[in-house]
Structure 1
Amino acid sequence: MNLHGHPLHALRQQNDFKTVKSFIWNKVISSAVRTRAAVILALIVCLCSIFYSDASPADPSTSMSSAAAAHSEATLALAKKESAEHMHGMQELYDEMRKRPLIVKAYGLDDANAPADAIIVHFVRHGQGFHNLMADLASSQGREWVQFTNTPENPYVMPEIVDAPLTEKGRQQALLLQSVVKEMSTKPNLVVLSPNCRAIQTGLLVFEELLEAGIPFLAHEMVREETGIHVCDKRRPKSRQMKEFPQVDFGLLESDDDVIFRNDHRETKAEVGGRVYKFMEWLSGRDEKVVGVASHSGWLLTVFNGICECDEKLKGWFQTGEMRSVKLSFVRK
């Protein structure tokens, strides 16, 4: 990509990425088309992130990797807002789940109260996706929207981000976790992936060395994000994903098309909780003692606040590219 002679090249010489973003926003995109053209901005921002990096993006030891692990003020503010929104109905779900025959308890890895037969699960939230970038950009520009509504202001309903993939920052976040996995004394002997693109990409990067060891990577419909209305959470056809990710076993997906997503309905907390519970039932019947799971913020928040009995320290919102390792025990009434 040759940018010599382009105004962006002069700005690069100033090493001012914020100026680049401002230049694109104010000079290239008119106010009348900013909502739709923000996708173009997101693409250019990601290209610029590569353009500005002097190190190989595949090297997790670079300064860019350190930047990938950080979260901006806009990202943290948006996470706080969305976490509160996702908590609506959570207490009712938790109370209802106490009536189910399977009780799931989560413990920290160093918790002496964990039973001897507890399994270890490394829960991972995907790295930054293009939908996350779009929301951060919109939020930093002062745009406001109502969550889970099909309105022009909502960046999560833009058709350009159906089943949003990872950004370069998202890949770097996953590579940082890859280095964590390499240092694990006990590695997963099963990896479960949400069938959404960004989660698959993240899981394949984070647990990459396990592929060479022949560890199974399974896509599981029950692990996908709370879905509906937001097209970033709609999955692509199974047949297309099988071609793109031949390393992954998609046999657990019963339909080629996404039959859960609806344009006019967001899953209720009870519906999401039902999927999480089904996954826990499935997991409780497996023989593996160490498992990796790559999923999403809303789903993971439901695991620790709506399904599991656990300490408060485990209940917080997962940031992009975060891993939380716990012990799970399954108790049947």
Structure 2
Amino acid sequence: MANPTPPPQSDSHFHFSTVTGIFLQDDPNTDPDTFDYVSTNFGLVPRPYPSDDTLDSTDPKSQWQRLAHYIDTLNADSPPETDYKLLFLGRHGQGVHNVAEARYGTVMWDCRYSLLPGDEDGNWFDAHLTEVGIEQARTAHGAWKTQISNGIPSPQSYYVSPLMRCCETARVTFEGTGLPGTEPFRPLLKELLRETLGLHTCDARSPKSAIAKAYPLYTFEEGFSEEDPLHDAHLRESDSARDARFFGFLSDIFATDRNSILSLTAHSGAITSILSVVGHRVFKLETGGVIPVLVKAERREGKAPERVVEPWFGRPSCPGE
């Protein structure tokens, strides 16, 4: 199996942090279990920004427009080694595998059924969306259209996990919104933007040719292989190994993408690790949910601090074994 983490640069590294006070989701008083991103403008906090006094007072701006100006100001006033990006992190809608796990229970799912390609009710290899999942993506589509009318800054780059459920979620979410870069919608598929790797067949990906056939307008990052190089049928990626993978992923994005507003359509585990890497508090998303995060990245000299990375692990025992 290929190493899923890009090799760290020896001469410098990124330090990531979350700019807090921008969104309700980074407030400890916000309950993830009851939070509704749709009815709260994606969680945008109504507040002034230090850059407001540089706006034209005769041309009132919306909260989103003032935030976009604030981000532009932060980047303009920061030294070259500091960069700010607004990440819109979207989780895929409900998949066939989510329904199966609920049906069998997490314990039996992890030890037995997740290792199978499916059952009599459906196939969950590289799991597709259910009708509920498609409807959740339509909800995200409507939320984006509402926020467009509120002046939300448009994503300048769209990144999508190559797993089928994310490809479909991104398509339903963004096609037809009128956002720049969505007509036609040609997001970039990134291999590392995957769910926790290994064991579970729902997290193995389809061949490149099958993805290209299903989503012919999508683009693949350079070096994207025909077959899945990351899935291991015998070992499951540890949380700390996944965090290390996403530290590498974010380092690559911040090093190569000069845009400041990015959309990433991914998975629960992927978003959990991204939030961990950027110092955001734990905030679990429901299927189809969206969380925005303003991230500050500082390039620092020398190698990145050593991470404690636990080894991948095998299948857990089922009850009674």
Q: Quick one: distance in 2 between partners of 1:225 and 1:189?
A: 24
Q: How many residues align?
A: 223
- Choose which of 207, 222, 225 in structure 1 pairs with 2:192: 222
Task: For residue 268 of structure 1, report the CA deviation from its aligned partner.
Answer: 2.3
The aligned residue for residue 95 of structure 2 is: 129
Which amino acid letter does the alignment assign opposite residue 302 of structure 1? S
Secondary structure at the aligned position of 1:222 is classed as: coil
In the alignment, the residues of structure 1 paired with residue 185 and residue 298 of structure 2 have an alpha-carbon distance, to the nearest angstrom, of 27
Q: Is the 8 A contact 1:138 1:155 kept in 2?
A: no
Query: Equivalences for 1:20-169 in 2 at 5 Å?
Result: 101-107=13-19, 108-109=22-23, 110=45, 116-117=74-75, 118-139=84-105, 144-145=107-108, 147=110, 149=111, 151=112, 154-155=113-114, 157-159=116-118, 160-169=123-132
User: What residue is the counterpart of 1:190 in the other structure?
Assistant: 157
Q: Please, which moves more after superposition, 156-165 or 172-181?
A: 156-165
RMSD: 2.3
How many percent of aligned residue pairs carry the same amino acid?
Answer: 23
For structure 1, the residue ranges without an aligned partner over 5 or more in a row are 1-99
* 1:295-310 pair list within 5 angstroms: 295-305=266-276, 307-310=277-280
Residue of structure 2 in register with 1:329 after alignment: 296
Partner of 2:218: 248
CA contact 1:135–1:156 (8 Å) conserved in 2: no
Q: Deviations over 1:6-47 (max 9, x none)?
A: xxxxxxxxxxxxxxxxxxxxxxxxxxxxxxxxxxxxxxxxxx
**Which is richer in helix?**
1
Is the aligned partner of 1:171 residue 2:134? Answer: yes
Deviation at residue 156 of structure 1 after TM alignment: 5.8
Structure 1 position 269 matched with structure 2 position 232: no
Q: Whose RCO is larger (CA < 8 A, sep 6+)? A: 2
- In structure 1, what is the equivalent of residue 66 of structure 2? none
The answer to whether the Cα contact below 8 Å between 2:174 and 2:182 also exists between their aligned partners in 1 is no
Q: Equivalent residue for 1:64?
A: none
Amino acid at match of 2:200: H
* TM-score after normalising by structure 1: 0.62
- After superposition, give the CA deviation of every residue in 1:257-278 in whole Å (9 maximum; x if it has no partner): 0010011011123432232112
Tell me the TM-score normalised to structure 2 length. Answer: 0.64
Paired letter, 1:276:
F
Give the counterpart letter for 2:18 in structure 1: A
Distance 2:109 2:104 in 1: 13
1:145 aligned counterpart, secondary structure: helix
